[in-house]
Every structure is written in C-alpha cells, then in structure tokens.
Amino acid sequence: MTVVASTTLSILAIAALAWAVRRALRVELCPICLGVAGTWLWMLLARFAGLAVDASMLAVLLGGSAVGLAYQLERRLPPGRSPLLWKALFIPAGFVAAYALAGEQWVMLAGAGIALVALAAVFLLASPARAKDPAAVAKLEQQMKKCC
C-alpha cells in the first residue's frame, strides 16, 4: 500500500506544480499527464541509480502514458485515417515498450520503439495523393469548435 500511496502523492504533487505553472505562464499542458510522466521518470531514474522501485507500478504508469499518448496523437490524424485502427495498433505496441522499459529489456524496447515510430509515420503523415478541399476543412474546423 505504501507504493500506491507514494505514487499517488507524487502524481498529485507534480500535477499541482504543473497546474500552477500552467496558470502562471498561460501555457497549454495537461497537469495529470505531467504528474504521471514525472512520476515514472523519477522512478526510472531511481531504478537506474540502483534504488529499489516497484516494477509493476512503473509499468502501470508507463502503460497509462502509452494510452494517453495514443489519444493525444489521435487528434493529429489526417482525414481518412482510422482512429480505431490507430489505437488498436499503437496502444499494444506502447504496452510492449512500457513492459520492456520497466523490465530493462533493451532489444524488445528497441523493437517496440521502431514499431511506434513506424506507426506514427504511417498514420500521422498526410497522404500527398489526396487533394484538400479548403472549404470542407474550414467547415469541419468550425463544427469541431462548436462541439466541445
């Protein structure tokens, strides 16, 4: 239970700091995302420094960041790309990367990293063959602004 409590406190403390920075500097950032990422970052550094770190908790945090990254990048998918296919491929590859990093399995991490970069390149780079209709794009942008 101590691991859960200390991890939760770390996430909340880093998130609170990020929230204060966001308000002071008026920059757009996700405090919870930074809280989670900051926590797994210090856990990784502590582990590499030889300190005992719960690998399960580290893997949970890394996996959560993989899911969060998939959802953040989904917003940048060009028209015509399947968000479901994107997440169905990216999230499991992200979990493999998280597992490999938490377990210090460098070859597996390299393979998962290559897969993630390849997926990002295939899905996020706009296809030059498709012509863009500026009027349709502008209309969609207006609808999205009204949406949420």
Question: pLDDT of 70-87, one tens digit each?
Answer: 999 999 999 889 999 999
Q: What percent of the chain has pLDDT over 90?
A: 76
Query: What pLDDT band is residue 148 in, cutting at 50, 70 and 90?
Result: low
Token code pair at residue 18: 């990020």
Q: Which uninterrupted H or E stretch holds 12?
A: helix 2-25
